[in-house]
Every structure is written in C-alpha cells, then in structure tokens.
C-alpha cells in the first residue's frame, strides 16, 4: 500500500472529497497518511466508505490528526471517554447536530476537527451538509470584511442538559457537573496550517454580537448564515453503514438534516447511530 497513491474524488466544487484505497483499520504508513492529510486540508472534509472500525481503531486513527478531547456535556462510551455515541431513535423527530454549527464554538479554544463513524443509518434520509467558511469569507465585500474585523460574536453552549436530555437515545449520557460555557470570539479567523481566512459563525451557538442585544445582532448574523449556506458553498454527504467523515472544524460548519418525515407524522421513523471523536486544536 505504501508505494501507491490514494484516490481522491471531489464530492462538490466547494468542498468535500471521498478518499478511496485506504483501510483505516490498519496502521497507515507515512506516505499514505501524508496524502490523507493533504486531502483533508485541501477539501476541508473527507469521506471514507466501508470502514469497519473497533472503538480502539477509531481512536488510533483519530490521533493521527492530533490529541483528542472528551465532549464536555456527554459521557463517552464505556472504556473510551473520548468517543461519544450519537443516537436518534425511530420515534424522534430531532437528532443531535440539527442546526448549522461549528463544533463546540463556545469553548475557549474550539476543536480542530472531528471523526464521525456511521454504525447504523436509514435507507434514506439523515444526510449531513457541510459549508466552506473560507469561500464564505472570500466572497464578502471589502466593507463587510472590514466590519467583521472589528466585532466579536458571543458563543453560548446553552444548558449542559440540552446536549443530551432532549434526545431520547442519549438521555443516559449526560455528564454530571458540567457548566454552561459562554464567551466571545472574533468573527474572522486564520487557519494555522493553510493561512486561509474564514468566517467564524456558528448559528446553533452564536446568536448575539458582543455589546449588542440579540435583536440588534440578528440582522447581521442571519445574513451571514444565509450567505455561508448558499448552495455553491456546501456539499451533501449520503451516509452508508461504516462510512466515515473527517471535517476541519477550523474552516467549516455542518448540519445533520432533520428529515425524518415518518417520525414527524407520528409514526416509526429511522434510527441513526454514530460514534464521534473530537480533535483538540
């Protein structure tokens, strides 16, 4: 394997690519790992199919990207505190991650990225959208860029229970003793590896600008969300069992579609089970 190149197939023009010819359950040699990492930086989110990973193998691969950190409000699976399980039950309408967001943007240093492994997915529905925040920044006007240089957004985790107790499949996972986190961050940031500038919004957690009321903040924040989620700035990933997504949290945001119409109508919908590790910046 170490003597051949991997195959990278772009998923959309804005971001995202599928990587073929790699078995993530094995120890990747430096040449293959370098190509995987290069694809990750270039495309911002990369996808792998047919990857049957144990929790240990999931974490071993994730650590190639950097040190891992536990999710602050949800317990990890038994024996693996850095690996959380995201569960949507068949009669639930709403699942975890159901709004546009940057993972844990409310932290003093938000994570660098995440590795998400699909264990159980529906035959249709439950896709995930990703947005390229570098493109969103690059296409702003000069005047808007100058304005955003001067202001900060306030990112709020909300109550710790909101991250588990409102999801039937995750109620037993609440991490006791966690506290609400709320802090301001610049509206623009620079990627440490590529030097690219990007917009830093996280609609699920940031709905107010520093020094302004929510009502005063919403026109600008609403505009930025609409701008960043234009069709030409996003890609859509269709999950299959044992698919894996790795996204760069420093220049993207994402959204797990809430499209279980059967559950919404009061019937039996689909079940979705994923495991996620979080890469510390």
For the chain, domain boundaries: 7-279
Beta strand spans in the chain (E): 7-10, 17-20, 45-48, 68-69, 83-88, 113-120, 128-132, 152-156, 182-186, 188-190, 197-199, 206-209, 234-237, 244-248, 252-256, 272-279
pLDDT class of 5 with cuts at 50, 70, 90: confident
| pLDDT value at 115 more than 50 | yes
The pLDDT tens digits for 42-84 are 999 999 999 999 999 999 999 999 999 999 999 999 999 999 9
Choose, from 43, 254, 272, 275, the residue flagged as catalytic. 254
Which CATH number is associated with domain 7-279? Answer: 3.60.130.10
Alpha-carbon distance of 260 to 156, in angstroms, equals 27
Query: pLDDT digit string (tens) for 203-239?
Result: 999 999 999 999 999 999 999 999 999 999 999 999 9
Q: Is 254 a catalytic residue?
A: yes
Confidence of residue 172 (pLDDT cuts 50, 70, 90): confident
Global pTM reads 0.96
Choose the catalytic residue: 44, 117, 163, 276. Answer: 276
In the residue annotation, 191 being an active-site residue is answered as no
Helices (H), 191-246: 214-228
| Contact assessment for residue 131 and residue 165, using Cβ atoms and an 8 Å cutoff | no
Active site residue 276: yes
Query: 44, 103, 117, 155: which is the annotated catalytic residue?
Result: 103
Q: What share of the chain is helix, strand, coil (3-state, %, to 5)?
A: 25, 30, 45
């Amino acid at each position: 394997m170490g003597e051949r190149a991997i195959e990278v197939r772009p998923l959309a023009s804005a971001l995202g690519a599928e990587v073929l010819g790699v078995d993530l359950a094995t120890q990747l040699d430096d040449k293959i790992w370098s190509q995987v990492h290069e694809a990750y930086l270039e495309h911002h989110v990369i996808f792998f199919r047919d990857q049957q990973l144990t929790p240990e193998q999931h974490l071993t691969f994730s650590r190639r990207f950097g040190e891992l950190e536990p999710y602050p409000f949800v317990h990890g699976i038994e024996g693996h505190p850095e690996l959380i399980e995201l569960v949507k039950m068949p009669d639930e309408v709403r699942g975890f991650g159901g709004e546009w967001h940057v993972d844990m943007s409310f932290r003093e240093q938000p994570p660098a990225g995440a590795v998400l492994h699909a264990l159980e997915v529906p035959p249709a529905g439950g896709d995930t959208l990703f947005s390229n925040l570098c493109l969103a920044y690059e296409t702003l006007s000069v005047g808007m860029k100058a304005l955003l240089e001067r202001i900060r957004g306030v990112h709020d985790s909300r109550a710790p229970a909101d991250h588990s107790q409102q999801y039937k499949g995750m109620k037993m996972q609440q991490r006791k003793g966690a506290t609400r986190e709320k802090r301001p961050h610049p509206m623009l940031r620079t990627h440490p590896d590529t030097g690219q500038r990007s917009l830093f919004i996280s609609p699920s957690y940031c709905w107010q600008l520093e020094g302004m009321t929510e009502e005063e903040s919403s026109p600008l924040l609403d505009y930025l969300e609409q701008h960043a989620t234009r069709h030409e700035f996003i890609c859509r990933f269709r999950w299959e069992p044992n698919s894996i997504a790795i996204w760069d949290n420093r220049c993207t945001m994402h959204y797990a579609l809430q499209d279980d119409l059967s559950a919404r109508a009061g019937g039996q919908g689909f079940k979705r089970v994923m495991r996620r590790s979080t890469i510390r910046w």
